[in-house]
Each structure stands twice: as structure tokens, then as C-alpha cells.
Amino acid sequence: MSGDLTYRITKRLIDVVTASIGLLVLLPVFAGVAAIIMVCSPGPILYGSMRIGRGRVPFRMWKFRTMVPGADRLGGSVTTEGDPRVTRIGHILRRSKLDELPNLWNVLVGQMTLIGPRPESPTWVRRYTPEMAAVLDTRPGITDVAQIVFRHEEQMLKGVSVDEAQYVTVMQWKVALQAEYLRRRSLLIDFKVLKYTLVAIMDKQPDTELERLVACAASFTDGRLPQVVWQRAERILGSRLTHPVAGSWEPNQPSSKPH
């Protein structure tokens, strides 16, 4: 049995066991969050966001609803800090990442994995170049290197409209980090990503250096990852990046459901 096949089988077993135990153990948390959403924000408890999975197969990624019903018709596809569509309880759920607990169901049924490139909406994926689309050859995940590096994305993008080059450039950087993870993925790397994800959830302090970088992201036109981004990725992966270059991007204005 090849090393890659062993890795994939082991990873899937870990996904199934972890998701099953997590859904059972966290059942009281699910019930509590659902009750609070029902009281504080009338409407559906869950929100199924359309995403593109492995092999470009679309699926619904389930989350606890954090926005007002019909939020996708009231604004753009990117949610920033202070977005009026986010409910009061939604702000708490998003900051604590509790809104993503239903992702465990996607993991259990095989649409997602615990560690892997975060799935994107069909509208954004249509703008991937062939180089960037390589991340679609694997099962998407709940968390990855890009999620950790840009853990305070909503604060970083505050005041940035979806049609501005800042977000387009940040998307380039995120896909480049996802591709770098795929080039060196292993169970050890996955455990490192999981460890840093837990640390990131507990860290409530925004990364001011990255905030300044995102504010001037439109000035980065050569496709390369800025030093501050790859330094943080190297810290997570435990070694130097081999390809610190992002793929090209078509900066057309997308329109999709909010993240």
C-alpha cells in the first residue's frame, strides 16, 4: 500500500471517528445554540451555503445561521466586521467559531474533512486559474493553513467592498497557502494545523501587521505571497515554503451568497 493511500485511508478513519464522537458529545451544545437562535433571531436554525467540493462537485456546507434570513439578497458575498446582516447572537457564534460545528455532519458524510482547503462558493471557483483549481482535487476541510493565517479576516476586511482588489488579492494568497499545504500534507502536518487552529480560536487579538497588509493588498500585482503571510504559514507548517507564489486571478466582481 502506497504512503499516499495509507495517509488518505487513515485520514478518513480519523474524520469518521472524530465527527461521530463530536456530534454525539456536542449534542447539548447544538441544542443550546439552536434554542438561542430560535429565541434571538426568528428563522431557520441552520444555513446551507453552496460550496464546491472535490472534483468540482457542489454541496451544501451546513452552519448555524448567523445572519438575518435572506441575507444573500441584502448585500455582497463577503462578510466584514460590523456587517448589519449579522445578528447579535451571530456575532458571538462567528467569533467563537461555534457556527461551524454543523460542518461535522459534512465531514461524517464524506463531503469534507477536518483538515483541508476551505471550500469556496461556485462564483469564486469559476474564477480559479488551472493552477489554483488544483485545490479542488482533494476533499475540502473545516480548517487549513489559510484559515489560521487569516483568522481575523472579517476585521481585516472591515470597510472593504467585495468588488475591490483587496479581497481578490487576499483570495490569491489563501489559495496559494492551500496549495502549499497539499504539497506537503501528512498526518503530522494535519496535527500541527489542528493545534494552531485551537490556538487561533483562543487568540482574540487581531494581527495588526496583517491588517495593514490587507489594507494595501491591491498594490500587490505580481502574484507573490508577501513575506508576512508566508512567515506565518512557515510557523504552522514547521518548514520553509517551497513555492511562495500565488496564482493569477481574474479581478471581475463576483456575486454570491455570504460566507
% the chain with pLDDT above 70:
82
221: its cell numbers: 500585482
| Mean per-residue pLDDT, 134-156 | 89
Does residue 65 have a pLDDT over 90?
A: yes
Cell numbers for 188: 503530522
Dihedral of alpha carbons 151, 156, 158, 160, sign: negative
Residue 248 pLDDT: 41
**CA distances, 231 to each of 109, 157, 247 (Å):** 35, 21, 18
- Quick one: pLDDT at residue 256? 41
pLDDT(259) > 50: no
All three cell numbers of 24:
454525539
When pLDDT is cut at 50, 70 and 90, the band that residue 246 belongs to is: very low
Residue type, 102: P
DSSP secondary structure, 47-98, as one string: EEEEEE-GGG-EEEEEEE--B-TTGGGTS-S---TT-TTB-HHHHHHHHHTG
Confidence category of residue 26, pLDDT binned at 50, 70, 90: very high
Q: Is the pLDDT of residue 175 over 80?
A: yes
Domain ranges of the chain: 3-237
Q: β-strands 58-64, 46-52: how paired?
A: antiparallel
* Mean pLDDT along residues 23-49: 95
| pLDDT tens figures, 76-87 | 666 666 778 899
User: Can you give the pLDDT at residue 250?
Assistant: 39
- Tens of pLDDT, residues 109-141: 999 999 999 999 998 888 888 888 999 999 999
CA atoms of 77 and 124, how far apart (whole Å): 10
Q: How far apart are CA 195 and CA 153, in angstroms?
A: 19
Burial class (CB in 10 A: 0-12, 13-18, 19+), 205: exposed
C-alpha cell at 59: 454541496
